[in-house]
Chains A and B, each alone.
Chain A
Amino acid sequence: MSQKQEEENPAEETGEEKQDTQEKEGLLPERAEEAKLKAKYPSLGQKPGGSDFLMKRLQKGVWGIVSYPLSLDVLLCVDEIEGDYNMAKAKMKNKQLPSAGPDKNLVTGDHIPTPQDLPQRKSSLVTSKLAGGQVE
């Protein structure tokens, strides 16, 4: 009788254990994947949700932080640039209004660039292919 009771109790516990094991087995793939990753990158930190990780995410798109920001260089030679600018403006007053496109005879420093003169940085100003081409 006592034997039976002992057998009954373990059966209950096994029931719970079975549930636990089943849950763990469901997660075994995730845990196995984690082990794989740790094996490849042993220096990987424990918590991926840490501030370092999130900071990287916030700074998406940053490059070249080590050097000065461009604006600092510009600030340093503002006087020089202003001087050139005023000189060039004085020369321009006597000319006719310029047409679109830079005058190639002007020496750098005399010509005041306008937005039209600057080359486009990216050529994504092409019409989207969704709007042209095949329409089915």
Chain B
Amino acid sequence: MIPGIGTLTQDTLWCFSQVKGTIEIGTTEADIISTVEFNHTGELLATGDKGGRVVIFQREQESKNQVHRRGEYNVYSTFQSHEPEFDYLKSLEIEEKINKIRWLPQQNAAYFLLSTNDKTVKLWKVSERDKRPEGYNLKDEEGRLRDPATITTLRVPVLRPMDLMVEATPRRVFANAHTYHINSISVNSDYETYMSADDLRINLWNFEITNQSFNIVDIKPANMEELTEVITAAEFHPHHCNTFVYSSSKGTIRLCDMRASALCDRHTKFFEEPEDPSNRSFFSEIISSISDVKFSHSGRYIMTRDYLTVKVWDLNMENRPIETYQVHDYLRSKLCSLYENDCIFDKFECVWNGSDSVIMTGSYNNFFRMFDRNTKRDVTLEASRENSKPRAILKPRKVCVGGKRRKDEISVDSLDFSKKILHTAWHPSENIIAVAATNNLYIFQDKVN
């Protein structure tokens, strides 16, 4: 198997690599992971949680001695990105939960990322310090000011090595631009701008300017009683800096071109799969709501996730997706209870592998699914402590739908709906995946021969 070319043939075996977090009965809500993202080289892996904290892991250099172990991810930096706030005018509590993290491509020694909660986007700089100046004239070694009368000689401070320190500093705070809750941020391929999207509006920012943003999409109706859909996700095209897409709660995707007009309320392309009206039920619109939209690395396709399926669309064909994959169709007969316990509103994300040949998304019971677009094979795997021996091969799981349950299968009624995998990430070029299971982060790699 050639690494980096992700094909889910029978040769690909996924193994446990690492798990981060603690085993707890009754998770502290702050520890629930709310976003996971690799940077552009895959060297860094960032997580955000409900408590507003960001933890960044770095892949260790592969040693020649340990050929079997590919680089493991260890803690590199952690900081409090957002804190709880209170909007006094509206009597609203603003959660500190990190909704999304997006990395900027690396341009110098420091790393930059955007992190956002419901209202405020922040640009963080993560940099290393391994030297410090020593031998100041006016300060002593502890930093206290020296009495000028005691200084009789002059010396030049020198840089001395020190233990590596990783510092995270907030460089920009982009606030007060969103009335509604931010669901997405996306860095533009021009590396100068980025967008933030809330339920009804999308704003364009320049990284250097924090007190102004440009509104590029506004779907708020003049009369709120006429509100029929909201924006659920948005993303810039990976190569064309003028193009972006946004998805809606009605299962549609709009592609917009910023060259066409300043306000992109009128889409350039409109993607919608026709539905037989006789098939409609009370749940139809809810389960068609798109929870995530992602461009392929090639920029030719977009992938969308709704409650029961993942769909791949060709940008050149608006009237239907080119591929539809069933994630957990057996839940169709559980929609009533899933509506009652609010699970039907869970927002699952989806990801492409580096070569756009395999797509992955999460499900319940700590299951996650992978679909190979070429072979049309799919697999269900589980993130659990039971399969967490180093390099243990993950065994495919199966949900039993019909009457007779085989030995290793699990029945639909036994699924744990509190164990949901909403956030996953795939290394940009290798078969390494990060799966967030509530408060634990699992890292899996394919088997090295």
How many A-B pairs have beta carbons closer than 8 Å: the answer is 148
Query: Known contacts A49-B228, A58-B230, A71-B88; is A29 also within 8 Å of B249 by CB?
Result: no
Q: Is the CB of B441 within 8 A of A130?
A: yes
A127 at the interface (CB under 8 A from B): yes
Q: Name the one of B55, B91, B94, B250 contacting A130, with C-beta atoms under 8 angstroms.
A: B55
Q: How large is the interface on A (under 10, 10 to 19, 20 to 34, 35 or more residues)?
A: 35 or more
Q: Is the CB of B249 within 8 A of A49?
A: yes
Q: Name the one of B95, B199, B282 contacting A58, with C-beta atoms under 8 angstroms.
A: B199
Q: Give the B interface residue count (CB, 8 A).
A: 63
Q: Is the CB of A131 within 8 A of B55?
A: yes
Q: Is the CB of A60 within 8 A of B181?
A: yes
Binds B, one of A33-41, A88-96, A101-109: A33-41
B138 at the interface (CB under 8 A from A): no
B19 at the interface (CB under 8 A from A): yes
Residue among A55, A62, A130, A135 with the most chain B CB within 10 A? Answer: A130
Residue among A44, A64, A124, A126 with the most chain B CB within 10 A? Answer: A124
Q: Is the CB of B75 within 8 A of A131?
A: yes
Q: Specify the chain A residue showing the minimal Cβ separation from B339.
A: A37
Smallest CB separation, A36 vs chain B (Å): 4
Query: Known contacts A33-B334, A37-B339, A71-B89; is A51 also within 8 Å of B49 by CB?
Result: no
B366 at the interface (CB under 8 A from A): no
Task: Label chain A's interface by main secondary structure.
Answer: loop
Q: Name the one of B75, B228, B283, B390 contacting A30, with C-beta atoms under 8 angstroms.
A: B283
Smallest CB separation, A133 vs chain B (Å): 5
Q: Is the CB of A61 within 8 A of B441?
A: no
CB contact list, B2-34 vs A, under 8 A? 18-22, 30-31, 33
Q: How far is the CA of A63 from the CA of B153 in the complex (A)?
A: 65
Smallest CB separation, A50 vs chain B (Å): 8
A99 at the interface (CB under 8 A from B): no
Q: How far is the CA of A135 from the CA of B336 in the complex (A)?
A: 41
Q: Is the CB of B282 within 8 A of A124?
A: no
Q: Is the CB of B49 within 8 A of A128?
A: yes
Q: Specify the chain B residue showing the minimal Cβ separation from A62.
A: B92
Q: How far is the CA of A48 from the CA of B335 in the complex (A)?
A: 14
Q: Name the one of B78, B88, B336 contacting A131, with C-beta atoms under 8 angstroms.
A: B78
Q: Specify the chain B residue showing the minimal Cβ separation from A37.
A: B336
Smallest CB separation, B392 vs chain A (Å): 12
A78 at the interface (CB under 8 A from B): no
Q: How far is the CA of A61 from the CA of B93 in the complex (A)?
A: 6
Query: Known contacts A51-B228, A124-B52, A125-B80; is A36 also within 8 Å of B89 by CB?
Result: no
Smallest CB separation, A93 vs chain B (Å): 25
Query: Known contacts A36-B336, A49-B229; is A23 also within 8 Å of B279 by CB?
Result: yes
A80 at the interface (CB under 8 A from B): no
Query: Known contacts A63-B91, A125-B80; is A34 also within 8 Å of B283 by CB?
Result: yes
Q: How far is the CA of A55 from the CA of B200 in the complex (A)?
A: 11
- Residues of chain B within 8 A (CB-CB) of A63 are 91, 93
Smallest CB separation, B32 vs chain A (Å): 11
- Residues of chain A within 8 A (CB-CB) of B92 are 61-62
- Residues of chain B within 8 A (CB-CB) of A55 are 224, 227
- Residues of chain B within 8 A (CB-CB) of A130 are 20-21, 31, 33, 47, 49, 55, 75, 78, 441
Q: Specify the chain A residue showing the minimal Cβ separation from B33.
A: A130
A57 at the interface (CB under 8 A from B): yes
Given contacts A55-B224, A130-B49, 15 further A-B contacts (CB under 8 A): A33-B334, A46-B282, A54-B228, A61-B94, A65-B91, A69-B91, A70-B91, A71-B89, A122-B83, A124-B30, A127-B78, A130-B20, A133-B22, A135-B18, A136-B388
Interface residues of A (CB under 8 A from B): 23-24, 27, 29-34, 36-38, 40, 44, 46-51, 54-55, 57-58, 60-65, 67, 69-71, 121-122, 124-131, 133-136
The 3 closest A-B pairs by CB, nearest first: A29-B333, A124-B51, A131-B78
A-B contact pairs, 26 of them (CB 8 A): A29-B333, A30-B283, A33-B332, A36-B336, A37-B340, A38-B282, A40-B336, A46-B282, A55-B227, A58-B181, A61-B181, A63-B93, A69-B91, A70-B88, A70-B91, A122-B96, A128-B49, A128-B53, A129-B21, A130-B20, A130-B33, A131-B78, A133-B21, A136-B18, A136-B20, A136-B388
